[in-house]
Amino acid sequence: MLNFKELNIPQIKESILNYGLEKFYNEYFQWLREADKNLKSFLFFTESLVQKLIQNLKKEDINLPLYGIPIAIKDNILVKGERCTAGSKILENYIAPYNATVVDKLIKAGAIIVGKTNLDEFAMGSSTENSAYQLTTNPYDKGRVPGGSSGGSAAAVGGGLVPLSLGSDTGGSIRQPASFCGIYGLKPTYGVVSRYGLIAMASSLDQIGPMANNLNDLILLFEIIKGKDNKDSTSVNFPKEKLKPLTTQKIGLPKEFFDELDSQIKNLIREKIKKLKLEIKEISLKHIKYSLHCYYLLMPAEVSSNLARYDGIRYGKRIKNDNFWQIYKLTRQKFLGEETKRRIIIGTFILSHGYYEAYYLKAQKLRKAIYEDFQRAFKEVDLIIAPTSPTLPFKIGEKTSDPLQMYLSDIFTIPVNLAGLPALNIPIGFIDHLPIGMQIIGNVFDEYKIFELAKLTISSQ
Ligand code: GLN
């Protein structure tokens, strides 16, 4: 099979074309089923859709940027006519009635959607262990997690099963699994990619983003999915003047991120930074230490309201009963997982009378303070470099019994979502044969600045 880890999209396209699309996909699926038996990165494959997509591609489409390229989609993004489970039993039989905007864009660009990938239930988790269906393993160590919640999408790319995938990131779910699986993953500026057709977790934080084995492929995928969409009123057009950034001169290192970091990870990042030969400035983000508190108030509040629609009446599975309230209660009790219920309960509490002001409003103020910390920092520096994860990819089961330990996995990624900023995970090496990532964080719409610095990081290694 083609080596998706080493080849780039133009090379893959050429090889598939030479081989012939139909012949390639017949052999590819036989191989893919076998290759995913250990990883379990896919919840299911979309073989009949693949046949349709191949047939719809015409000879004159050959110049489309993703002509014939296989791509995996996180199973909280709708693909018309296919199941979309969001990793939950409550949506086990749910068939998507329409395409997410990003999926329409991919198909238009010639991509072939080969399957839907595993995730934590409703994208809530950091290890993909909250999936109601299966455990996905890390491509570098089958005793360890791939990260989460886009663990399936990260493992599929990191394990060389597909060259590209889409994930979603509410508090780190693209960047942390990308770091654990040794790949590139971008959380775009809030609003740059349409959320239409993404099963909502916390709408003010959710963003869809690209995952790939190399930077150029990631940029290509980002360019295809970005842009304003009338079906998502929070989406925006990417400003043209931001496509050609000025070169980065000054990098900020937030001291709060490095103070208590694992020393092996710290050293590896410092080594990379040194080689950049740019001006480095230590910065301080004063409110950053409250990010996790702020996130675990605002996110569950939004989750509790977004997930109210899974009532056994309108969507998905239902426990039959003569009493309406019993249908609602029993269906949610049986088909939602522990972590999901925990967040719904916390969120409902936070939004309830008398607590709204004490918790929700206070957290909103904190969110603004965190945003302002970043804005102050970007007056002094062009970009910020930070670790992606505080730890190496951890063992399966290691953190499942302690939600707080699990929540700490996202301590470096969550502030970026709270402030609506773009951030990229880039793989920077290995510790004990496990991949390590580093985050480049930019101001709003500074994706191309981030890409420039990422290129410099790669070329100076
Ligand atoms: N791990 C974080 C959480 O559990 C972030 C999830 C995400 O980004 N979807 O909420």
Q: What pLDDT digit, counting tens, does each position of 40-75 carry? A: 999 999 999 999 999 999 989 999 999 999 999 999
Spell out the domain ranges in the chain. Answer: 1-461
Span from the CA of 120 to the centroid of ligand 1 (angstroms)? 9
Residue showing tokens 């959607």: 113
Span from the CA of 329 to the centroid of ligand 1 (angstroms)? 25
pLDDT in the model for residue 238: 97
pLDDT in the model for residue 248: 77
Q: Which of 127, 149, 168, 304 is catalytic?
A: 149
172 in contact with ligand 1, CB cutoff 6 A = yes
Tell me, yes or no, if 74 is annotated catalytic: yes
218 in contact with ligand 1, CB cutoff 6 A = no
**C-alpha distances out from residue 199 to 217, 231, 239, Å:** 25, 14, 27
Are residues 93 and 317 in contact, defined by beta-carbon separation less than 8 angstroms? yes
How many Å apart are CA 361 and CA 297, to the nearest integer? 10
Q: Strand, coil or helix: what is 234?
A: coil
How many Å apart are CA 25 and CA 138, to the nearest integer? 25
How many Å apart are CA 83 and CA 44, to the nearest integer? 9
Given ligand 1 and candidates 170, 296, 405, 409, which is best to mutate, with the most ligand atoms within 8 Å of its CB? Answer: 170
CB atoms near residue 372 (< 10 Å): 14
How many Å apart are CA 127 and CA 150, to the nearest integer? 8
Q: Strand, coil or helix: what is 321?
A: coil
The token pair at 7 is 């080849």
Strands 70-74 and 250-254: unpaired
Q: Which of 74, 105, 116, 187 is catalytic?
A: 74
Burial 78-110 (b: 16+ CB within 10 A, else e): bbbebbbbbbbbbbeebebeebbbbbbbbbebb
| CA 157 and chain centroid, separation | 13
pLDDT in the model for residue 249: 86
Span from the CA of 146 to the centroid of ligand 1 (angstroms)? 14
Q: Which amino acid is at 436?
A: I
Burial 220-253 (b: 16+ CB within 10 A, else e): bbbebbbeebeebeebbebeeebeebeebeebbb
Quick one: 461 exposed, middle or buried, by C-beta within 10 A (0-12, 13-18, 19+)? exposed
Span from the CA of 427 to the centroid of ligand 1 (angstroms)? 20
pLDDT in the model for residue 8: 98
The token pair at 307 is 């997930």
Atom of ligand 1 nearest to the CA of 205: 8
pTM, two decimals, is 0.98
Span from the CA of 294 to the centroid of ligand 1 (angstroms)? 13
| CA 357 and chain centroid, separation | 31
How many Å apart are CA 305 and CA 384, to the nearest integer? 34
How many Å apart are CA 25 and CA 13, to the nearest integer? 13
207 in contact with ligand 1, CB cutoff 6 A = no
Q: Which of 126, 165, 173, 389 is catalytic?
A: 173
Span from the CA of 451 to the centroid of ligand 1 (angstroms)? 24
306 in contact with ligand 1, CB cutoff 6 A = no
How many Å apart are CA 252 and CA 441, to the nearest integer? 10
In this predicted model, what pLDDT tens digit does every residue of 287-314 receive, in sequence order?
999 999 999 999 999 999 999 999 999 8
Quick one: 459 exposed, middle or buried, by C-beta within 10 A (0-12, 13-18, 19+)? exposed
**C-alpha distances out from residue 380 to 182, 219, 252, 282, Å:** 31, 27, 8, 10
Which is it for the CA torsion 38, 41, 44, 50, positive or negative? negative
Tell me, yes or no, if 329 is annotated catalytic: no
Are residues 418 and 368 in contact, defined by beta-carbon separation less than 8 angstroms? no
Tell me, yes or no, if 149 is annotated catalytic: yes
For ligand 1, atom 10, name the residue with the nearest CA.
Answer: 124
Helix (H) or strand (E) holding 449: helix 447-459
How many Å apart are CA 125 and CA 267, to the nearest integer? 28
201 in contact with ligand 1, CB cutoff 6 A = yes
Q: Which amino acid is at 124?
A: M
In this predicted model, what pLDDT tens digit does every residue of 40-49 receive, in sequence order?
999 999 999 9
How many Å apart are CA 362 and CA 297, to the nearest integer? 9
Over its C-alpha atoms, the chain yields an Rg (Å, rounded) of 21
Span from the CA of 322 to the centroid of ligand 1 (angstroms)? 37
Share of the chain above pLDDT 90, in %: 95
Atom of ligand 1 nearest to the CA of 409: 1
For ligand 1, atom 4, name the residue with the nearest CA.
Answer: 125
Q: Strand, coil or helix: what is 284?
A: coil
Instruction: Using 50 as the pLDDT threshold, list the residues of the chain that sit under it.
Output: none
Assigned CATH topology for domain 1-461: Amidase signature (AS) enzymes (3.90.1300)
Are residues 381 and 334 in contact, defined by beta-carbon separation less than 8 angstroms? no
138 in contact with ligand 1, CB cutoff 6 A = no
In this predicted model, what pLDDT tens digit does every residue of 88-106 receive, in sequence order?
999 999 999 999 999 999 9
pLDDT in the model for residue 247: 80
